[in-house]
Structure 1
């Protein structure tokens, strides 16, 4: 707290704690948002890696000849579109 003199000889107590309180609240919201964001990034990365593992398992479980035929069709279709 701080004493400040006002016109007319009045002395007023000013409380800079209000400003400090708003900074503390703002800091806590920023911290909460940061923690939430980090948790989302970690879970997104984990789920992405888990899905990649699943996709690679599905990819390698397909018969190679069938997979090559599928890609051959896609490539020939793409070349036909380019012509």
Structure 2
């Protein structure tokens, strides 16, 4: 599993987590590679690396496009 981390001006390095696939798509766009996990497990694992988890953050622009997702899928096969 790969975690995508983001720079945050107030929190340093963060991982984003969403309470539903709809919240994820609303924030980052429809084309998202994602996996369901327990927030506790995610937060604990991230904390071990000094990373904060942001739950249902407001994001100003989509991140992945369908082409990005297809390229990533091809690269990890």
Question: TM-score band (shorter)?
Answer: under 0.3
Task: Say which one has the larger Rg.
Answer: 1
TM-score (norm 1): 0.22
More helix by share: 1
Structure with more relative contact order (C-alpha pairs < 8 Å, separation 6 or more)? 2
More strand by share: 2
TM-score (norm 2): 0.24
